[in-house]
Structure 1
Amino acid sequence: MKFLAISGSARKISTNTAMLRAVSAMVRPDHAVCVFDGISDLPVFSPDLEAHSLPEPVQNFAAKIKSCDGLIIASPEYVRAIPGGLKNAIDWLVSRDEIINKPIVLMHASHRGDDMLAQIRIVLSTVSTQFADDLFLRFDLMKKTPFEIEEHLNLPANRLKVSEFVQNFAALCGQ
């Protein structure tokens, strides 16, 4: 199975991106998890830009989504809401076919963020017929370095949680 793991953070040293990279390294070779950390590269969504050839970063983003079996999204909460960059990325997909039937699950790298999670659940259940709200994995990784995140996820109990999460997602995607 090939999964695209989308980080909703625009930060270079993002906790969510580090978590997704650690998961990607852990699940190989059984599954391929490609991390997309280019949210900040996407131009601001405008329906006017859809009338012509899409901007190249949007074309590349949509192609990555089209070619994967499922999406794993991990995002911080900004001011009790979905970060603008992630919402912008989703807005680019609303009128496109790539996301409609794509299985989607959430991961979260904080003990906080429930307001953002509630909002993104509403948005994702609107844009995809296969958003799996009940399949969710959360770790408290705030203020950890990427190395510490990798170490934490590689603890046997956490490694098992990641493995079960990915296996359940693969089953949902039809493997």
Structure 2
Amino acid sequence: MNHLIVYAHPRKESFNHAILETTVRSLQEKGHEVVVRDLYAMEFQAVISSSEILGGIGEDIEQEQEYLKWADVITFIYPIWWTGLPAIVKGYIERVFTYGFAYRYVNGEQKGLLKGKKVAIINTQGKSHDQYAAIGMDKALLLTSDKGIFEYCGLEVLHHIFFESVPSSDEMTRTAWLKQLEELIGKA
């Protein structure tokens, strides 16, 4: 299968980068084709232009849409910052998941145009699951990204993984998380 990974973290030393490396290696070991779009390394321009709002897209966005067309599975790897997607990921979605490509309205009804494709979301967060659950943020994150973006565009959500309290986690915990990730990918 063809796997597109949209990755967003500015530091190569981050746990997000270890997640990326583990994901790529595990998929390739299973014989899958993998393309990584590292938004920070690409210096992806996250700000949508007025011409793009009117439907005019440039070659850079056409290229990203070609990757999405190619992919059977799209994996997003990014940290939760300010209880949401990093700006560069939000900008990627705003600029690449365009009207007429990722969704449209037919007779007033919204239609997701990426049906038949799957998405996996892997996030790191600074707080614990319990802290987010206590304020309802766990459900809000799933609602805004899984339902509000990915399912809205017709994608089937395979899984949404949250690695919690990452800044205070130890090496043994992180190693165990990466092993769990390898096992999950191995089942795919």
Q: What TM-score comes out, normalization by structure 1 length?
A: 0.70
Q: Which structure 1 residue ranges, 5 or more long, are not aligned?
A: 168-175
Q: Report the equivalent of 1:64.
A: 67
1:115-152 CA-partner distances (Å, limit 9, x unpaired): 544421232245321232x62334458349xx999955
Q: Report the equivalent of 1:128.
A: 153
- Choose 99-108 or 20-29, whichever is displaced more: 99-108
Letter in 2 for 1:142: V
Q: How does 1:79-94 map to 2 (within 5 A)?
A: 79-92=82-95, 93-94=97-98
1:100 aligns with 2:125: no
Q: Report the equivalent of 2:35.
A: 34
Structure showing the higher strand proportion among its residues = 2
What secondary structure does 1:28 align onto? helix
Counterpart Cα distance in 2 of 1:123 and 1:81 = 12
Q: Report the equivalent of 1:119.
A: 144
1:23 aligns with 2:12: no
Counterpart Cα distance in 2 of 1:22 and 1:149 = 15
Paired residue total: 160
Q: What TM-score comes out, normalization by structure 2 length?
A: 0.66
Counterpart Cα distance in 1 of 2:87 and 2:62 = 19
Identity %: 14
What secondary structure does 1:108 align onto? strand
Counterpart Cα distance in 2 of 1:154 and 1:87 = 26
Q: Report the equivalent of 1:171.
A: none
Contact 2:2–2:32 (CA under 8 A) maintained in structure 1? yes
After superposition, the CA RMSD in angstroms is: 3.3
